[in-house]
Chains A and B, each alone.
Chain A
Amino acid sequence: MNVLVFLIPISLLLGGIGLVAFFWSIKSRQFDDPQGDAARILTTDYDDHPRED
């Protein structure tokens, strides 16, 4: 059972990384235009003007 001392913090850390990544994705407005982003991935031309705000 001593392995729990490592396993629980590790699992919390991994989950926390996912959470922070999700925060970042919200903050960088990746949920503002879901339909557009779904369509953009299909265009063949390189996106020279990625959204910056």
Chain B
Amino acid sequence: MSQAQISACPACLAAPAAEDMAHGRDVQGAQITLSLPAIHCAACISGVERALMRQTGVRAARVNLTLKRAQVEADDTTSAQDLADALTAIGFEAYELDAGTIAATQTDRAGRAILTRIAVSGFAMMNVMLLSVAVWSGASDATRDMFHWISAAIAVPAIAFAAQPFFASAWTALRAKRLNMDVPISLAILLAAGMSIYETSLSGSHVYFDAALSLTFFLLSGRYLDYRTRSIARSAAEELAALEVPRATLDDGTVVAIGDLTTDHIVRVVPGARVPVDGIITEGASELDRSLLTGETLPVGATMGTLVSAGEVNLTGPLLVQVTAAGADSSLHRLADLVAMAETSRNRYTSLADRAARIYAPLVHLLALFAFTGWVVATGDVRHALNVAVAVLIITCPCALGLAVPAVTTAASGRLFRAGMLIKSATALERLAEVDTVVFDKTGTLTEGRPQPSNWDAIAPEARAIAMALAAGSAHPLSASLYDAARASGTVAANVSDVIEVPGQGIEAQWNGQRIRLGRAAWLGAGVLGQTATYLQIGDQPAVAFTFVDHLRDGAEIAVAALKAQGKDVILLSGDVPAAVADIAARVGIDAWEANCLPLGKALRVKDLSQAGRKVLMIGDGLNDTAALAAAHVSISPASALEATRVVSDIVLLGNSLAPIGDATTLAVSATRRIKENFAIAAAYNMIAIPIALAGFATPLAAALAMSTSSITVSLNALRLRGFK
């Protein structure tokens, strides 16, 4: 904040202590950033701040509701995890954010720069407009000249400062021998200002200072809207990345960053944690959940010598893993190549605004040139011909492109953000509107990856009571869900003793003098079923199987039904076994499904569909979906997906429910329609105004009126989207 010293306003320096404090705090680095995805109201703000201030070591806490974050200033001894736990305990979901990834202080500098330019151009526009009103209403001779000179004195510095973003962008485009939208904008602003100065010096009656300034003002407003939408999306995306604080625990208990790991290290992975590296198990036995990598829901046994990959979840026993590859070399990151290849095809998509700009920019220049040469040839009066050309350039102001498109996307992505969807790519909305085929992944997308007992009622009450007692002692997800089901059905746990958990196998105990065991089929010597199951053996009796089905994700049926109602084809592609896929497909109402898909198979299937002319929306969360997500026309992934997967998706579902997807496609369609309507409105305006300008009847007053009304009409039309239901 050192710029504060050269501030134009003396009052800004009245609080140097505060400035110093702010500065000192940036350096100190005892800042903790927490993500608070669930806060939404005034009571939440004071609740969170009060709770944080009560924690020991917290010096200051401030909630930002727009970004849904809390900045905490604390002693070095305070851990972010403790604060997050304390908030979660009182009902505010909170997560630690990796401060390095979000760089909170840097983000809004660009936004503030645009706001400053808007303020300058707005101030200048209003003052010049007031002076122009006097001229329009009949000021003449010396008075008019004086007003024009004052206008010039205000307008020239204001334009030099405020219109810089357009000049810079136009200059880069011209140097690369391209035309973009900023070229006609810059030309119009510069020509209008230059022509007006020339006219003023000759005591002419037509000056366009007000038009040049309002052009700058309107277009800067559009630029700001655009910037805000992107920065909110970017900061939320950064937040998702920052949620995964990349750390690993070594065998001696020290915690290190994943980037510092080498192949000499041995990493400890506790039950329930995600394996942070690729490696070989050197000690311990457990089960691994590979669903994020392969889509399989059946846990896989792991003992000494088993190869593990980053991204797998350790379920039962603690493991020591010898690192073979970490960070950028791990299997998680190798997928990036595959993704980069698929991405290039999508980057070729040109947005509606770009396509319009490509036609628009040359057309405007040709029209202005035509007007100029036409008038020179017809009258030989270069000064009048230039005047007409400037009027044409101003009247054809690309406000529909520069203001209406950002206004529509801001309104639409704001609505989607409130519904829990984050648009990461600028053209995602338009691509979403074109979708006619939807491909779902199963595990983790349509389902929560959380198993539920499916044959509980068919099991003898005695076995139920024993299973409940055994399951109570284990943290394994199957046990946990078995215990929950038992409690829900009112079962009372049997009285068992000597409970031992055998890592990677199951739980063993004594009951009425008999040995009872709950665990893997192989351990009990039972026959394996073709679906997720755990087995209970009482004494020497044959084992009883508890089968599990995956819990459907919230809103899955609603989303599928809505998509089908919109006439889209819905397909389910999964890496899981056919029985499980068929079951889920039937439950959500999808007729077309394929099981046993390999990651490449999914991507190929999506490519085949695209080549057949389909616009595919891919919704998936696993690493096995990553290539398919990148190959699809547009892609959505839930926030629970791995970072690599979220990076390739255009839209991230922030909440747990899939229900917003149905609304999102409808909203995307109406947003695209609104953009096209705005182009039509602008075209209609130009159709009327351009002949008038070409004929030389356009006065500065007419130019100002035409530009303002068309800008306001398109903005209002865009805002209709906010109330869209």
Chain A positions within 8 Å of B, measured between CB atoms, are 1, 4, 8, 11-12, 15-16, 18-24, 26-29, 31-36, 39-40, 42-43, 45, 49, 51-53
Contact = CB atoms under 8 A, between A and B. Distances in A.
B262 interface: no
A26 to B, nearest CB: 5
A40 B65 CA distance: 10
B565 interface: no
B9 A1 contact: no
A32 B25 contact: no
B680 interface: no
Given A15-B127, A43-B43, A26 B65 contact: no
Of residues B8, B53, B143, which shows the largest number of chain A Cβ atoms within 10 Å of its Cβ? Answer: B8
Contacts of A12: 127, 154
B45 A26 contact: no
A23 B66 contact: no
A8 B150 contact: yes
A43 B120 CA distance: 34
A48 B464 CA distance: 56
Given A26-B116, A27-B7, A33 B65 contact: yes
Contacts of A42: 42
B9 A23 contact: yes
Nearest to A18: B123
- Secondary structure type dominating chain B contacts: helix
B8 A35 contact: no
11 contacts: A8-B131, A24-B9, A27-B4, A31-B112, A31-B115, A34-B66, A40-B42, A43-B42, A43-B46, A49-B60, A52-B21
Contact of A1 (B45, B120, B143): B143
B221 to A, nearest CB: 14
Contacts of B89: none
A34 B116 CA distance: 17
A39 B12 CA distance: 26
Nearest to A24: B9
Contacts of B26: 53
Contacts of A1: 143
Contact of A53 (B25, B49, B154): B25
Contacts of A19: 119-120, 123
Nearest to A19: B123
Interface string B116-144: 10011001001100110000000000010
A51 B62 contact: yes
Of the listed residues B4, B25, B62, B116, the one surrounded by the most CB atoms of chain A closer than 10 A to its CB is: B62
B126 A15 contact: yes
A11 B66 contact: no
Task: Tell which of A8, A29, A40, A52 has the most Cβ of chain B within 10 Å.
Answer: A52
Interface string B237-252: 0000000000000000
Given A19-B119, A36-B65, A11 B8 contact: no
The 4 closest A-B pairs by CB, nearest first: A36-B65, A53-B22, A39-B42, A19-B123
A45 B50 CA distance: 10
Given A12-B127, A49-B61, A33 B67 contact: yes
B143 to A, nearest CB: 6
Contacts of B127: 11-12, 15
Given A20-B9, A24-B11, A31-B112, A36 B123 contact: no
B359 interface: no
Given A11-B130, A24-B12, A42-B42, A52 B22 contact: yes
A19 B162 CA distance: 13
Given A11-B130, A40-B45, A32 B64 contact: yes
B108 interface: yes
B123 to A, nearest CB: 4
B63 interface: yes
B108 A39 contact: no
B41 interface: yes
Contact of A36 (B43, B63, B108): B63
B41 A39 contact: yes
A36 B25 contact: no
B488 interface: no
Contacts of A32: 64, 66, 108
B366 interface: no
